[in-house]
C-alpha cells in the first residue's frame, strides 16, 4: 500500500510537471485602470489556484471560530453530569483520575 501511494504521488507530480512544461507561453492578465500582468501561463494558473485557496480558508475562519467557541462552551457547561449520562464520551482531562492516566492502565486512551 505504501508503494502504491508513492506511485500515485509520483504520477500526480509528473502530470503537473508536464502541464507546467506545456504551458510556458506568456499570458496577460488585465486588471483595472489599464494595469496588466504578463507571466507564464502556469504561474497565472498557480496564482489563481492559491488565491482561491486563501479566499476559501478566510471565508471559513468565522465558522471555525464559532464552532470552536461552541465546543468550548459545551465542554464547560457539560461537566461531570454529561459524562455520567454517556460513559463512552471522552471525559475532560480534569475529571479523569490520575490512576487512569498512567501508561500501565488499560484506560490510557489507546
The phi, psi pair for 37, rounded to 5°, reads -130, 125
Q: How many CB atoms lie within 10 A of CB 29?
A: 13
* Mean pLDDT value across the chain: 78
Q: Which residue has the higher pLDDT, 65 or 110?
A: 65
pLDDT of residue 60: 92
pLDDT of residue 78: 52
Pair 43, 28: CB distance under 8 Å: no
pLDDT of residue 79: 54
- The residues facing 39 across adjacent strands are 27
Compute the distance between CA of residue 4 and CA of residue 21 in angstroms, rounded to an integer: 26
Give the residue ranges of DSSP H helices in the chain: 2-22, 41-85
Predicted TM-score of the model (pTM): 0.49
- The residues facing 29 across adjacent strands are 37
What cell numbers appear for 46 in the block? 498557480
Amino acid at each position: 500500500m505504501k508503494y502504491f501511494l508513492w506511485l500515485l504521488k509520483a504520477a500526480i507530480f509528473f502530470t503537473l510537471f508536464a502541464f507546467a512544461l506545456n504551458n510556458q507561453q506568456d499570458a496577460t492578465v488585465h486588471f483595472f485602470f489599464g494595469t496588466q500582468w504578463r507571466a507564464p501561463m502556469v504561474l497565472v494558473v498557480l496564482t489563481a489556484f492559491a488565491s482561491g485557496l486563501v479566499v476559501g480558508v478566510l471565508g471559513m475562519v468565522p465558522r471555525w471560530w464559532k464552532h470552536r467557541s461552541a465546543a468550548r462552551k459545551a465542554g464547560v457547561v457539560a461537566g461531570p453530569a454529561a459524562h455520567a449520562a454517556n460513559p463512552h464520551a471522552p471525559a475532560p482531562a480534569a475529571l479523569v483520575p490520575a490512576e487512569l492516566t498512567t501508561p500501565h492502565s488499560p484506560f490510557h486512551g489507546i
